Amino acid sequence: MVKRKPSTVRRLFAGRTLSATLAALLVSAGLASADDGYQSADGTSVYLGIMPASVVRGHPSDHEEGAMHGGAPAGRHPQHIVVAVFDTRTSDRIENAEIVATVSSLGHVSHERIDLEPMSIAGTITYGGFANFPGRSRYEIELSISIPDRDRPTHLTFSSDHQ
């Protein structure tokens, strides 16, 4: 039996725990939104989840999740947006998309544009990035999803009530 240093075991456990937590939060965060975190259009099925950035911020900076997207931002109510994209017909995961999210507050008083980056979680590719949801409000998250073999981007808009 190979003994590992306690820090290695803790990091392995933390990484697996984060993967499971992200998957659970992706589902539960979607349930809290007005559109249940799922939409499809143009042969593309999309799941969107939003979770507090503090989930990621808790990792050491040398940990893969602690450094993703340049690290969790400071600021009021930073959130981590996670998107999974599938081909509707085949149910295959799409792992070569380029995704831009635009987060707008109620009435589009302010907006933030985020290039979502590919992330490997539990051996699969999802896309993510950080955005600030500074106040209690309803937010719209518009996704522009470009897939190499498609003629035009797919556009979807999700809603989320931020408390």
90-112 burial: b if 16+ Cβ within 10 Å, else e: eeeebeebebbbbbbbeeeeeeb
pLDDT in tens, the chain (163 residues): 454 444 444 444 434 444 444 444 443 343 344 468 999 999 999 999 998 887 665 545 554 544 455 555 666 678 889 999 999 999 999 999 999 999 998 765 778 899 999 998 788 999 999 988 877 788 999 999 999 999 999 999 999 887 7
Residue appearing with tokens 């809603």: 159
- Fold entry, domain 6-162: Immunoglobulin-like (2.60.40)
Q: No. of H helices and E strands in the chain? A: 3, 8
Say whether pTM exceeds 0.75. no
Tokens in use for 80? 């981590």
The Cβ-side half-sphere exposure at 78, using a 13 Å CA radius, reads 16
The ranges assigned to domains in the chain are: 6-162
What is the separation, in whole angstroms, between the first and last Cα of the chain? 48
